[in-house]
Amino acid sequence: MTLRNSMFSLLAGAATSALLTTSAFAENFTLHILHTNDLHSRIEAVNKYDSTCSGEDAAEGKCFGGVARLKTAIEERRNALKGENVLLLDAGDQFQGSLFYSTYKGKAAVEFMNAMDYDVMALGNHEFDDGPEGLKDFLDQAEFPVISGNTEADEASGIKGAFRDHVILEIGGEKIAIVSVLAEDTVETSSPGEHVEIHNAGSYLLKTVEELEGQGINKIIALTHVGLLRDISLAGQVRGLDVVVGGHSHTLLSNTDPKASGPYPVVVKNEGGYDVPVVQAYAYSKYLGEIKIVFDEKGQVVSATGEPLLLDASIAEDETVRARVAELAQPLDELKRQVVGKATETIDGSRENCRSRECAMGNLVTDAMLERVRDQGVSFAIQNGGGLRASIEDGTVTMGDVLTVLPFQNTLATFKIKGGDVIRALENGVGQIEEGAGRFPQVAGLRYSVSLTAEPGQRVSGVEVNENGTWELLDSDKLYGVVTNNYLRSGGDGYAVFAEEGQEAYDYGPSLEDVVADYLKGRDSYQPYTDGRITVK
């Protein structure tokens, strides 16, 4: 069974594509929710590979999203719904993913969000990529509330009180509460630091929704950053929750797109016996989600209909925002235009593939890492699939392309570790494939098999290491040299075994993007490939 079919199966067991009950009473209250999630600093328009749209794609009008186009779409929908009740929400992860973030951090994102007049934003895990201090400026400049109920920051964090746990808005004479939760593994997938704690999402929602209902509020929206499968679970368990607007898993839900992972909305049967619509709108500014919710006089959702809007070339870019984007992009252009190589075919770095199986981008990056340090006694390379953020089209490859793939400014890290601990690391890496987790291990100098039918922790077999051109079974007691990125080496993405058991660690190598660029520069052209180093069955 493919992962996509598995997702459909899970959705089919938990949800339907439309609410069947309707009501025509005058007391009904209608709310239109416009929503985005996981923009990941795609300030400029993107191509079909989610990289910056330029060259032939731009000339042929094959561009999607970007904040200038998003601004137009939002204004058009607000104008069309003038006089009605409208909310604009963002489900987190505005940070990280392009040179705009590398250069401006959160300042560009918050400027454009203010310009679009967002009502509420949820914190995403990547908002902590530069620690609480990196988030502070964004929170200080935001002209809208930023919320995360299960996130607790102490005084030493510098952001205590800078975000809220929930908000209560009055719209059309009705009180609407918006609550939020963040993925608990943010401590592994980002850098919140010792002064920020992430508590259990379900426990927070159960307690807070009950309190809000006790205050007489009967319209409660969860704006979450936990991923679709967790959203479905929470929607079913938390009584009193009416709507879930989510992010984190980059899921496209649609009633018309055959590539969608499920219907829009996914409708979940709550333990209280009522239906809860759950929505998400992919990522990278490609879509503007829009769901129309009708509540009855008791605050019960009786209708939920909508469809995400693809922001393609038919949506004109807002000229004022476009000009500002161009102004901010100007200092980045020289670096982005630097040619580092040529690809004979598209190098696949898609999220779907690199987080679930061997992918061509994973091979490029790990091959480059291993070649850089092979003369240092290193036998193999491991790179988390979630650290690969885009594909690269065939033809000329620029530094801008490489930086879009590798935006995290990680450095090369080497250490030594026993073979048995390597297997523990691989088990961690494949333990959350069904969730699309970013920890999936792309490798070089190593090969292994994964059984999706086995329980997490018992999925990896047949691990071999290439020793001087010969494949040999990994020796559990032997000490091996490993190269990875400094994020994984320090325990990120659940790789605690690297931090705890690694020996002679050195985290201060060259930047990963420079390693890959140099690798490409050393070749007349690069032929993307997969060679069976990872077998998934």
Residues 303 and 305: their CA atoms lie apart, in Å, by 7
Q: Do the Cβ atoms of 202 and 169 come closer than 8 Å?
A: no
In sequence order, the 6+-apart residues with CB closer than 8 A to the CB of 291 are 32, 33, 35, 243, 245, 264, 265, 277, 279, 304, 305, 306
pTM: 0.79
Name the residue with tokens 């996509």: 4
The amino acid that residue 485 corresponds to is N
Residue 123 has a pLDDT of 98
Residues 498 and 88: their CA atoms lie apart, in Å, by 42
The H helix count followed by the E strand count for the chain is 17, 27
Residue 5 has a pLDDT of 44
Which residue, 251, 210, 259, 211, is CA-closest to 232?
251
Which residue, 528, 524, 530, 529, is CA-closest to 342?
524
H helical segments located in 170-265: 186-189, 201-214, 228-237
In sequence order, the 6+-apart residues with CB closer than 8 A to the CB of 75 are 318
- The residues facing 244 across adjacent strands are 222, 278
Residues 339 and 361: their CA atoms lie apart, in Å, by 18
Give, in degrees to the nearest 5, the angle at Cα 241 between 238 and 247: 90
Strands (E), 271-386: 275-279, 287-295, 301-306, 309-310, 339-343, 380-384
Which residue, 405, 449, 500, 356, is CA-closest to 46?
405
Backbone dihedral region for residue 97 (phi beyond 0: left; psi -120 to 50: alpha; all else: beta): left
Structure tokens at 514: 């420079």
Q: Do the Cβ atoms of 282 and 271 come closer than 8 Å?
A: no
Helix (H, G, I), strand (E, B) or coil at 392: strand
Question: What Cα–Cα distance (Å) separates residue 360 from each residue in 133, 144, 261, 326, 503?
Answer: 35, 41, 23, 32, 30
Residues 264 and 257: their CA atoms lie apart, in Å, by 10
Residues 249 and 243: their CA atoms lie apart, in Å, by 18
CA atoms within 13 A on the CB side of 179: 31
Question: What Cα–Cα distance (Å) separates residue 98 from each residue in 2, 138, 405, 531?
Answer: 30, 17, 8, 29
Q: Do the Cβ atoms of 53 and 317 come closer than 8 Å?
A: no
Residue 16 has a pLDDT of 52
Backbone dihedral region for residue 187 (phi beyond 0: left; psi -120 to 50: alpha; all else: beta): alpha
Residues 121 and 139: their CA atoms lie apart, in Å, by 10
Residues 350 and 391: their CA atoms lie apart, in Å, by 6
pLDDT in tens, the chain (537 residues): 344 444 444 454 555 544 544 444 458 999 999 999 999 999 999 988 787 887 788 888 899 999 999 999 999 999 999 999 999 999 999 998 888 998 999 999 999 999 999 999 999 999 999 999 999 999 999 999 999 999 999 999 999 999 999 999 999 999 999 999 999 999 888 889 999 999 999 999 999 999 999 999 999 999 999 999 999 999 999 999 999 999 999 999 999 999 899 999 999 999 999 999 999 999 999 999 999 999 999 999 999 999 999 999 999 999 999 999 999 999 888 888 899 999 999 999 999 999 999 999 999 999 999 999 988 889 999 999 999 999 999 999 999 999 999 988 788 999 999 999 999 999 999 999 999 999 999 999 999 999 999 999 999 999 999 998 999 999 999 999 999 998 899 899 999 999 999 998 887 778 899 999 999 998 999 999 999 999 999
Which residue, 413, 350, 360, 415, is CA-closest to 386?
350
Report all structural domains of the chain as residue ranges with CATH numbers, in order of start: 3-324 (3.60.21.10), 338-536 (3.90.780.10)
Residues 452 and 30: their CA atoms lie apart, in Å, by 44
Residues 102 and 407: their CA atoms lie apart, in Å, by 7
In sequence order, the 6+-apart residues with CB closer than 8 A to the CB of 473 are 463, 464
Residues 462 and 124: their CA atoms lie apart, in Å, by 37
CB atoms within 10 A of CB 124: 29
User: Does the N-terminal peptide bond of residue 510 adopt cis geometry, omega within 30 degrees of 0?
Assistant: no
Environment class of 157 (CB within 10 Å of its CB; exposed 0-12, middle 13-18, buried 19+): buried
What's the DSSP call for residue 493? G
Query: To which H or E segment does residue 14 belong?
Result: helix 3-14
